[in-house]
Amino acid sequence: MELLQYDFMQRALLAALLVGLAAPLVGVFIVQRRLALIGDGMGHIALTGVAIGLLTGRSPVLVALAAAILGAVFVETVRMRGRASGDVALAIIFYGGIAGGVVLISKAPGGSAATLNAYLFGAITTTTAADLAVFAVLAAVILAVTIGLARQLFAVADDEDFARASGLPVARLNLVLAVLTAATVVMSMRIIGLLLISALMVIPVATAILVTRSFRATMAVAVAIGVSVSVLGVVASYSWDTPSGGTIVLLAIGLFALLAAGTAIPPALRRRRV
Amino acid sequence: MTEAPLIHLEAAALGYDGTPVISGIDLAVERGAVLALVGPNGSGKSTLVKAVLGLAEVVAGNLELFGQPAGEFGDRGRIGYVPQRGAIAGVVPSTVHEVVSAGRLARSRTLRPFRAADRAAITRALDHVGLTDLSRARVATLSGGQQRRVLIARALAAEPELLVLDEPLAGVDLSSQGQLADVLRVLAENGTTIVVVLHELGPLRPLVTRIARLRDGHLVYDGPVTADVLADLHEDELGHHDHHHDGPAPHRTSPGSSDLGLTG
């Protein structure tokens, strides 16, 4: 494989593998809670973190992580209060996040439209070894927490009132999920892009749903799809010279369309669901 | 020593965000009772059960659960909850076993895998509602009555002493209502205390030992199943207003009306 000769491609493929694994693991709970676009909002907030990192000469990934986690805590606090004004507050913080990011990046050393595009839509040449180390730690945390707390997160996502009546720490579990979402968003900023990460949290899950009948199987199949489309998307991006984020998302949508068409075939001609 | 009631309300006002929905409630539910909580829509039945479940506030007065003030009561596994829920199928598919297993979390520690006792309780819960054969089925593919039994099994997985059901018969066909009544009858015979929110007693009538009737946020009757209270219940159903019961009337615990002999 010619592309594996390049260090940047090795890093890009590893980053794709990590985000492809993590995004559907978090996404399955987000989809169940009908909060499919929450990652989108966190991506907006993370962009301001990236810009502050670039302006101050600190790691954009780490500053974006701090910004996204703060954003996650804020979003979850607003959501838990459940007031009508909360919706407006979220809109302000999300659009404020992206506006702040765009303005601040334009003033950062080396800040350009190309830099902004890379963060928003992904680019295969941008992953550094330091980024990869951060992504590996975040992926390990996401894997450990989503598997360790899978039953509790499922219970809250499935029926929040019942979970609360059962004595589960619902507010804390919701906060954990929000922080995991923030971490996933940050992992996406090199390969997928902050504006497209929601797609990798949602589409593999939506695709898996077409062929599964249990939550556990949906998680497993969604992760397999997430990893496959991410890695293949990076390879395709290299071959076709296209932005990696858009390429990965289009592959994911293509697979969804293919399976959706397949499952429209009469049941007698289909394999049993797993 | 006499055991404290499982639920004990004294001059309680219950509601949300500091605003009472129901007030002046005095009610005690003793172990082994099967209490039907009845009344028209908006009378406060759901608020009362939600306060018991920790989902609504005690705005004034007292609510004790198993002899402890509700605010200090932490052993939530002792109370099983069967919500009123038209369809329990989420966006992501889940099996009967997965949903029922969620009910066991009230009795297990965070991060600790289920032990043999937990798995056995889940198996018993499925068996109790007759869904063992469907444990691997996708919940969304089940009928309304079967889905309601999944929710009962989920509550039973924690092996509760008190089972609270919110409108378990709503939206369920007559044959399934009979099956649900059978499930609850066996539970009651085994000593589980049951509080059930109902519009009409239907097939649960033989099980119910006591009725508490709410109207306009007040308890207007607390006593045995009598012809009078059943007639009142029928009027609630028809949406008629029974003028002599309006407002915070005293409890008609000894109405002198015909007891149908259904009390326990």
State the Cα–Cα distance between residues A223 and A200, nearest whole angstrom. Answer: 10
What are B227-256's pLDDT values in tens digits?
Answer: 888 887 777 766 644 444 433 343 443 333
Fill in the DSSP letter of residue A6.
Answer: S
Contact assignment for A155 to B105 by CB distance below 8 Å: yes
Give the CA count within 13 Å in the CB-facing half-sphere of A11. 19
Contact assignment for B81 to A165 by CB distance below 8 Å: yes
Sign of the CA dihedral with B211 first, then B214, B218, and B220 last: negative
For residues B126-151, average pLDDT: 92
The pTM for the full model equals: 0.87
Which residues of chain B have a CB within 8 Å of the CB of A151? 101-102, 105
pLDDT at B245: 40
pLDDT at B255: 35
For residues B47-70, average pLDDT: 94
Percent of chain B at pLDDT above 90? Answer: 61
Fill in the DSSP letter of residue A108.
Answer: S
The gap between the terminal CA atoms of chain A, to the nearest Å, is 34
Q: Measure B259 CA to nearest chain A CA, in Å.
A: 35
| Mean pLDDT across chain B | 85
What are B104-138's pLDDT values in tens digits?
Answer: 999 887 778 889 999 999 999 999 999 999 999 99
Percent of chain B at pLDDT above 70? Answer: 88
What are B180-209's pLDDT values in tens digits?
Answer: 899 999 999 999 999 999 988 889 999 999
Contact assignment for A166 to B90 by CB distance below 8 Å: no
Which residues of chain B have a CB within 8 Å of the CB of A212? 93
State the Cα–Cα distance between residues A217 and A222, nearest whole angstrom. Answer: 8
Give the number of other Cβ atoms within 10 Å of residue B95's Cβ.
21
pLDDT at B260: 37
Which residues of chain B have a CB within 8 Å of the CB of A167? 54, 74-77, 106
Q: What are phi and psi of B80, to 5 degrees?
A: -95, 145
Burial class (CB in 10 A: 0-12, 13-18, 19+), A15: buried
Cβ–Cβ under 8 Å, residues A62 and A220: no
State the Cα–Cα distance between residues B252 and A225, nearest whole angstrom. Answer: 64
Residue B230: what residue type? Answer: L
Give the CA count within 13 Å in the CB-facing half-sphere of B46. 13
Q: What are phi and psi of A88, to 5 degrees?
A: -70, -40
| Mean pLDDT across chain A | 90
Q: Single out the residue of B59, B74, B53, B52 nearest to residue B19, CA to CA.
A: B59
pLDDT at A78: 83
pLDDT at A266: 64
Cβ–Cβ under 8 Å, residues B3 and B159: no
pLDDT at B19: 92
Contact assignment for A165 to B55 by CB distance below 8 Å: yes
Fill in the DSSP letter of residue B260.
Answer: -
Q: Among B83, B88, B138, select the one facing A161 at the smallest CB separation.
A: B83
CB pairs under 8 A between A and B: 93
pLDDT at B90: 74
Cβ–Cβ under 8 Å, residues A262 and A209: no
Burial class (CB in 10 A: 0-12, 13-18, 19+), B84: middle
State the Cα–Cα distance between residues B25 and B22, nearest whole angstrom. Answer: 7
Q: Measure A223 CA to nearest chain B CA, in Å.
A: 14
Alpha helix segments (H runs only) across A159-214:
160-165, 170-187, 197-209
Identify the segments of chain A with pLDDT beneath 70.
1, 82-86, 266-274
ipTM: 0.87
What residues have CB less than 8 Å from A123, skipping those under 6 apart?
A117, A190, A243, A244
B225 - beta bridge partners? none
Which tokens belong to A137?
Answer: 């730690």
